[in-house]
Structure 1
Amino acid sequence: MTALDRYVRLESEALWRAAADEQRRDVSISFGDATLVIADATGRPLAHWSLPALIRQNPDEVPAIYAPDEDASEILEIADTTMIEAIEEVRKALAKARPKPGKLRHWLTAGLIILSLALAIFWLPGALTRQTLAVVPTSKRSEIGVEMLGYLQIQTGAACKAPRADAAARRLAQRLFGPMTVTQIIVVPDLRQGALALPGDLIVLDYEVLQLSDDPAVAAGFILASHAALADVDPLESLLRQEGLGTTFRLLTTGEIPSEILQSNVAALAQNDVTTPDPGRLRRVLADAEIPQGPYLTTIDARTGTMPDLGTDPLAERSIPLILQDSDWVSLQNICNI
């Protein structure tokens, strides 16, 4: 039962002034539907005042004087304390039940702020990174990759170079990725991952990998595995996610990444563990390049203690095309000794 329900039958006498220039007159008052009904002696309604809008002119005084609005040209004087208490209780109950536009507005504003913050924290960085990666031209990726390679050599030692060996590396890249490939294979003296892909189609190969076996399929496996890992971890994407919105926005708007950021990122990259690509993807990549699994798997197991499960080698019963001429392979194996 509401407060209004309890007092629906309550009536009282009062003095009512209809206007500032009129005399007060005796009336009876009772509760209507959220209103105070003012009636004459015959019960004929003279006015209906909104209970929530009532304004008490003299709080805590008796008789209580009420007005229906701020103007107060119309007033009602009530001496019955029971009716006064009832009016006050009903007014408070109705006021609590009314919608609070201000409170709703505050909740909506707070909700929008929280939503905006959530978007800024969780959605915006990823969306901005994806957009940036989509618009960075190949030439800029190559430029970034070359600069990263320069910093990487601080950790690995200078890239090994020799005309015949460089030509052999180009032929190996064409054998693995197709005759029109722009992928470059760069050999360095010491790279803990074995092979590492950088932006701009650069694959850095550890010289030791060339010494692990006389079978070029081992080196080919490391190169293909690093390339396959790009599908899971784009080195440029990793850099942008690590460095945050500022670096991403700068690359998007100016096409530049500060050198100190590239240098620190490469220093950390050089210390990372080997990134193992998805086994199913690696299996397909090896098969597409016609490189047998066995030599690579045996060597990666000996080097890292882990061997990805690639399933049955689809090339097991097939003749493998020549990977490199013996002269090219020997030149490549000796690239850091020249």
Structure 2
Amino acid sequence: MTALTEFIRLESPGAWRAGPDQRLQEVVVSVGDATLILTDPRSDRPLAHWSLPAVTRLNPGQMPALYSPTADAPDEQLEITEELMIDAIERVHRAIESRRAHPGRLRGGLTLAAALAMVVGLVFWLPGALVRYAGRIAPPAQAAQIGDAVQAEIARSTGAACHRVAGDGVLQHLATRLLDPGARIVVLPADLRGARRLPGDLYLIGTDLLAETSSPETVAGHLLAASLASPPGSVLQEALDHAGPRAAIQLLTSGKLPAGALTGYGEARLSQPLPRPDDGVLLEAMAQKGVPAEPYARSLDPTGESVLGLIEADPYRLQAPPAALLTDRQWLALQQICAG
């Protein structure tokens, strides 16, 4: 018995009752290979052999220790007072128990592991899922409010948006001709290096696009590029990702983001590289809207080397657009929108 390897021979006195009507008699209790042997001390004749794995203690924690050969046959009993023998029998039982399969314990462990995995999954998945859900179901009015909030955040570093009646009219004309219904264009007194699309179909351009070296076609090219490079769902999702799960929950419950949820997002948005759509998609849109590609391409790279594909595939390279984007008077009004 490997649990008792330190003992060469282990014996102790005991009192054995063969049945409920039998008297107790003294026996010598010894541990065999896998049995408990009860021997008559006077004749050395074995009286009983009990299987050690089946031996059951009837009074755990009490003395003298009372055993039976099986839990189902308590009529045959053995009393032992020798603590060394009691400890040896208990050690054998513990060794057997440790090797026995525990399906309930395994099932409980698996259940606990599954529960922990679910909790961990929820911790990492649920916040992102809430933000994505808020972005998917936000109505146009909410998206427009978020776009205005982002614009206000950007205006802290660039200055307030420029407004003049004539210039605002030109911006509305361009939005109607080039962009989706309900789109708005705002001019900020700063260099934005192109057009930026915000939630709620709000487009920002800077005064660098209205300089003397620019043209209405350049402005139109950047607006089209911004509309195609950043779908409305993606720009709203990016803003909500910055705001975070708590802000998304408040948006879902109250319809508004908490104050300060977009702090820092404006500067982060402006620091990102200007997104560019696929050349083929952009050229197709330019052909439909009557916008030549070369002015836009030259604003990205005056040498034309890195934008040669746009220049050579310009739909109006060999022919004039069907109609001018702006009259000279409209273009001048737009260039002066930040004046005064």
Q: TM-score, normalised by structure 1?
A: 0.72
Q: Which residue of 2 aligns with 1:119?
A: 122
Q: For 2:77, which of 56, 71, 75 is the aligned residue?
A: 75
1:51 and 2:54 matched: yes
Equivalent residue for 1:95?
97
1:100-127, Cα deviation, whole Å (9 max, x unpaired): 4447535632442243123312x11221
Q: 1:222 to 1:57 in 2, by over 3 A?
A: closer
2:244 counterpart residue number? 244
Match of 1:301 in 2: 301
Unaligned runs of 5+ in 1: 7-11
Partner residue, 2:275: 276
TM-superposition CA deviations, 1:175-199 (whole Å, max 9, x none): 2226xx2111111111434322121
* Alpha carbons 1:52, 1:95 under 8 Å: kept: no
**Following TM superposition, by how much is the alpha carbon of 1:258 offset from its aligned partner in structure 2, in angstroms?**
1.9
Identity of aligned residues (%): 26
Q: Distance in 2 between matches of 1:51 and 1:169?
A: 93
Aligned-pair Cα RMSD in Å: 4.6
Task: Report the residue type matching 2:273 in the other structure.
Answer: V
Q: Compared with structure 1, are the counterparts of its residues 191 and 104 closer, same or farther at alpha carbon in structure 2 (3 Å cutoff)? A: farther
Provide the C-alpha distance between the structure 2 equivalents of 1:229 and 1:35, rounded to a whole number of angstroms.
82
Distance 2:169 2:336 in 1: 13
1:289 aligns with 2:292: no
Cα distance between partner residues in 2 of 1:198 and 1:30: 85
3-state SS in 1 of match to 2:186: strand
Instruction: Tell whether 2:185 aligns with 1:203.
Output: no
**Deviations, residues 216-264 of structure 1 (Å, cap 9, x unaligned):** 22112222232233239833322322232111111111111123223x1
SS of 1:171 mapped into structure 2? helix
Paired residues in the alignment total: 320
Structure 2, unpaired ranges of 5+: 6-10, 39-45
Counterparts in 2 of 1:57 and 1:149: CA distance versus 1, 3 Å = closer
Report the Cα distance in structure 1 between the residues aligned to 2:56 and 2:301, rounded to whole angstroms: 84
Superposed, which structure 2 residues align to 1:27-38 within 5 Å? none
Equivalent position SS for 1:227: helix
Q: How many angstroms does 1:137 deviate by? A: 0.7
Under a length normalisation based on structure 2, what TM-score does the superposition of the two structures give? 0.72
CA distance in 1, matches of 2:114, 2:55: 29
Q: Is the 8 A contact 1:66 1:75 kept in 2?
A: yes
Structure 2 residue aligned with 1:156, among 155, 158, 167?
158
Offset, 1:210 = 1.8
Q: Which residue of 2 aligns with 1:234?
A: 234
Whole-angstrom CA distance in 1 between matches of 2:309 and 2:37: 87
Contact 2:221 2:286 in 1 (8 A): no
In structure 2, the partner of 1:173 is 175
CA separation of 1:308 and 1:115: change in aligned 2, threshold 3 A: farther
What does residue 137 of structure 1 align with? 139
User: Structure 2 CA distance, aligned partners of 1:52 and 1:209?
Assistant: 94
Contact 1:129 1:240 in 2 (8 A): yes
SS in 2 for 1:159: coil
- Determine if the alignment matches structure 1 residue 258 to structure 2 residue 258: yes
**1:35 to 1:103, Cα distance in 2 relative to 1, 3 A:** farther
SS of residue in 2 equivalent to 1:261: coil
DSSP 3-state at the match of 1:234: helix
Q: What is the SS of the residue equivalent to 1:259?
A: coil
CA spacing shift, 1:149–1:84, aligned 2, 3 Å? closer
Q: Determine if contact 2:193/2:208 at 8 Å carries over to the other structure.
A: no
Is the contact between residue 292 and residue 317 of structure 2 (CA under 8 Å) also seen in structure 1?
no
> Relative to structure 1, is the Cα distance of residues 37 and 220 closer, same or farther in structure 2, using a 3 angstrom cutoff?
farther
